[in-house]
Amino acid sequence: WVFSFYIILVLMLTTFRNTYFPWQLDFNFSRPLSDINLVFMKETWKLVYAPSHLDFFYNSFGNVLCFVPFGIFFPIVFSKRATFLRTVLMGMLFSVGIETLQFLLVTGVSDIDDVFFNTCGAILGYVIFKIVKKA
């Protein structure tokens, strides 16, 4: 149940920010694909040189921390099948799903950097899971 609550919370914070009911969803299928940032670290480097470094830390470390619970909970819930590779792959697919929904619902910026940082968070969570499990 905790894992389900976490998934719903992440989706509400990242994708369904202004939506309370499914009929309020407004898909924008005519949005140009050029709105997706597929250049790795392009926007992140812009934030490094921005006047305020707070945006850089929020974007990079916030995305990592947001997916640490995924890396911890996924192997607990799917204990028989959750290898390191499956956990990382599912974390990455969940992140790609969020970015796709953000693009279609126009609720955020779709960025390859977010997928990278989210996947790093899933990896970190899995490492924490393994360390705690061995202790």
Q: Say what the pLDDT of residue 79 is.
A: 84
Q: What is the mean pLDDT of residues 40-64?
A: 85
Q: HEC string of 7-46?
A: HHHHHHHHCCCCCCCHHHCCCCCCCCHHHCECCCCHHHHH
Local confidence band at 108 (pLDDT 50, 70, 90 cut-offs):
confident
Identify the weakest region by mean pLDDT among 5-14, 50-59, 74-83, 98-107.
50-59
Q: What is the mean pLDDT of residues 37-55?
A: 84
pTM here is: 0.88
Residues 6+ apart with CB under 8 A from 55: 47
Q: Are 71 and 128 in contact (CB under 8 A)?
A: yes
Q: Say what the pLDDT of residue 96 is.
A: 97
Smallest CA-to-CA distance from 18 within 118, 123, 102, 120 is with 102
Q: Say what the pLDDT of residue 13 is.
A: 87
